[in-house]
Structure 1
Amino acid sequence: MNSHSLQKMKVLILLLSVTFIHAEHRGRDYEKSKVCKEFANLGKDNFQSLSFVLYSKKFSRGTFEEIKALVDEVVSLTEECCDVNAAPDCYDRRTTELSSKSCEHDAPFPKHPDTHKCCAQEGLERKLCMAALVHPPQEFPTYKESSNEEICESFRKNPRDFAEKFLHKFSSSYGQAPLPLLVSYTKNYLSMVSTCCASSDITACFAKETFQNKYLTLLTILSDRVCSAFTIYGMEKTRFSYIVKFSQKAPAANLEDVIKVAESMTNVLSKCCDSIMEDCMSKEITEYTVSACEHLSDKEKEFKNCCGEKNPLDIFLCTYSMPAAQPIKLPDIVKPTNEEICNTENTNAIDRYTYEISRRNPYIPEVFITKVHSLSKEVLSECCKAVEPQACLKSQRPLARSEITSFLAKAEELCGDYSQLTFTEFKKRLTQHFKTNFPKANSKNIKDMVENRTDFAFKCCQMNSPPLYCGPRIDAETKNFCSHDSCLLTSRTK
């Protein structure tokens, strides 16, 4: 990373503290001097642009007006307090005023459901609480590219307004991408717009620039997708989700190879999603694709085809987008013993059981399997902590197993056809299904049911379905799958 890029990353990180954090006295002066130095080096315009990226990423549900209000406040604070003639208490006073203003009911800044909890605190605790607030990932990006003509018309009308609105839209839509990627992409994009809108051949210019930046674009968007799931799932569930996915994509692969690739991918995300190193994601993805191709390309034809791509990013996109493989004939699953379930030192038995279930159910998306795994693991963990673990497991395991079977059957019903049929065929089959099951329903009701189920399938029956969005919808679609009175799993989803 060159010194200028590293400088930008430092200032972005420091911006978080400028907004709300009031460090202890000795650290506060150091913090202020660092911010002021970077503000002077970058200049007001660059500082403001980088603030838009950071706060749009942090508060991805905030409107443009809310983000702009926060950015303007931070830039004003920094500009005033970094002036050589600023009062000694300027920094403390302005940050305190900012945190107080954020607690007003009509505050112009981004809203957060936990703001009131922070406002119930005082002083440093309030500022630290405010600084920790962040919106959940945008699992369905809202940014849409306009036509070249529309872009240039808007840019020529007001270049600054165009730039600020673009920074907000793109950074909030793809806010889970690592900060250095967002900064690089948005900077390149605005440079492209400035160049091409002054070109005699706008179409040719945009085509050329877009092609030259295609890998940066691809890396930014893919990083947002995988880091979004990592943010929601955390380390352990992410590892588990990749065991499920790779078991479904390469069912002939052995567990050891699947785990190596799953852990390799999880480590990439752990290292890079919050990294300020500019080349972290591209470097780590290159190493990951080597591992994936080494362990899985000879186990599945589609993997081998992907590994034939020349660029690591093309390999990554190919393997990420790869659907589940066709089912293969496999022996019956060997269930883990009670002792293996309660052995906290060795998770291999649980990994193996997950792997065996996943590769036998390729048309059940990972979000379903991860959900039922988490619930059943919670039930079994409670047994392992009981006074008599064996007795608890003896009574609860059969019930949990029965519910898992019913849940997976329901998941197969919801998603199996979607995975195997064309979209048109899927809707036709759904229409017939609802007509058969609801003979008294009128055509409008049937159409509504078909549209609702189709929307569910389109968003939640994919290999890489968004967990935050799909969790509640899966709950709604599977709420009646349990056939006995005291349901172990469904009682935990409420």
Structure 2
Amino acid sequence: MISIRSISLVIFFFSLAETLTLPKAPQQEDYLNATQKFLENNIRDVTTVAFSQFIQEATYEEISGLVEQMIHYKDKCMANMQLPECSQIAIHVMQDKICGVKELSDKYRLSECCTEDTSKRRKCFFQRKRTDVSFLTPFQIPDPEKGCQEYKEDPDAFLNHYIYEIARRNPFVFAPTLLSMAADYKEVSTSCCQEEKKLECFHTKATPIANDLKEISAKQQYTCRVLMKFGAKGVKLQKVVEISQKFPKIDFKELDILLKDFPIMLDGCCEGDVVHCFRNQAKMINYICSKPDSISSKIRNCCQLTIPQRGECIIGYSENDDKPEDLSPRAERFTEGDDVCQHLHEDKENFLTEFLYEYSRRHQELPHSVLLRISVTYEKLLERCCKTENPKECYRHGEEEFLNITEKTQAISKLECGYSKNLGEEGFLNQCLFFLTKKAPQLSSQELISHSQKLAASFTKCCPMEEMQQFACIDNMVNLILGELCGINKNRTINPSVDNCCKSSPAFMSLCFNDLTEDETYTSPPLLPELFSYRATLCQEMELQRKKRELIVNLVQQKPLLEVEQLIQVLLDFSKMIRCCGTEETDTCFKEENPKLYNTIETVLRS
């Protein structure tokens, strides 16, 4: 029996929420009750995630005030569920609470959102979320001695503050993911606070959590971008590839059941409806866990975990299952069958989805974008072939076209890995920065440097891998970075060429960017000498690297047609300035060298 208190909370949390269509799995009620119990026991953390993601600029004290309002609201509704306000969806109540504090809505410029009706207000709150969190100070692990004392005195408050900090810096990460990360951080804190070398312990054990969060954040942002830009169909195709590669034993009918519900679940998760996200993810994960034999046997250990680690383990960490032993290397039915055109005519969407499923489960080594590109190519192939007198003779060459797509894209990855190896990470980063600034000079130096650092890091990570793993790793990560550049929740306007690539489907976006040249519509800003003036702070290694990167951006922004040789000429003169660091009159030396460097820059820009 569920207690009356739990029933009240169920109504509060789940009223009017959109329901998934998944068939009821064994132990479904038990797991949903466990999810409800988790929400009940963690209401402070759950609402902290939502409020921190909605108002990233707010202080911890301001967020805590809103959280207390929600706890009070919950207590009031549990006492009397007949109150009109107790039938509202949780996300609407939370946004009501934000808008109800006028000083808060005025301070953080939320008035525009707060004057809208509930549906438009949800979209408005979503659109104001910012992935660029440079307005926040970088998150630092607390001083171990101080942090461990706080953890010892009040572990719940300590972890809640951690949740606030990571949620506001990751506004598109799903609530179950953030609370799973918080649970991991709790384990680290418990362990490291008992160690003598606490700082070393936190660095060793907390750094992987931060790295995992970055990777998961990029993937979830990308998924949300696909949903917002290309709708349910775009997400469906993306998930066909991901699920088929991860669970190659899954039956197509079973896959189709999951595909119907992904857009419903993601819609709430992406917008920040934390309750909707928890509830619907729980139902989906429970369904997957109820079918280890027909979906994947490798998820059994994940399914033994508690909420919300269970879901994060399956979605983020479980390895791809092995392909069925009887799965042929080629999907002959789609390139050699006699009835291909008949199936295309009778049920085109379902037939093409099944092709993508069959091809993806056979090729776990291929990048997502390549598989999506092959799917588009196959559709065009059939549209052409099915109009001919001998369709089978025409479409039987499909595998050759698919192989050609794979080889062309892989050649690009090999070439870039060659550059990465020869130039080293720093040199390759500068190359990325040089070419990316040419393509999108309108972006700030901070954003260009950030994207270039991520690109360089992805090649450093992926290039040492075995050839096919390298290929998928690079292509998948580059697509995530480009998706971030294009923007998740708003239609960014950078320049016509970049905007065109950003509107491309996930299948072709990276190819579009790869083919971009200099932006011919760009007008250079006035040449300001202070942009190329340096002081003794340049003698610090981190400052030297930062200024060198800014120099590359500023040069290209001044002259998008800048040649590599011209850039090298300036960088050589820039490096000569370091000799000032070994002199007694450092500042005087820089004052003498700055005009010389500026003269070189003027000469290069005029040539």
TM-score normalized by the length of structure 1: 0.49
TM-score normalized by the length of structure 2: 0.42
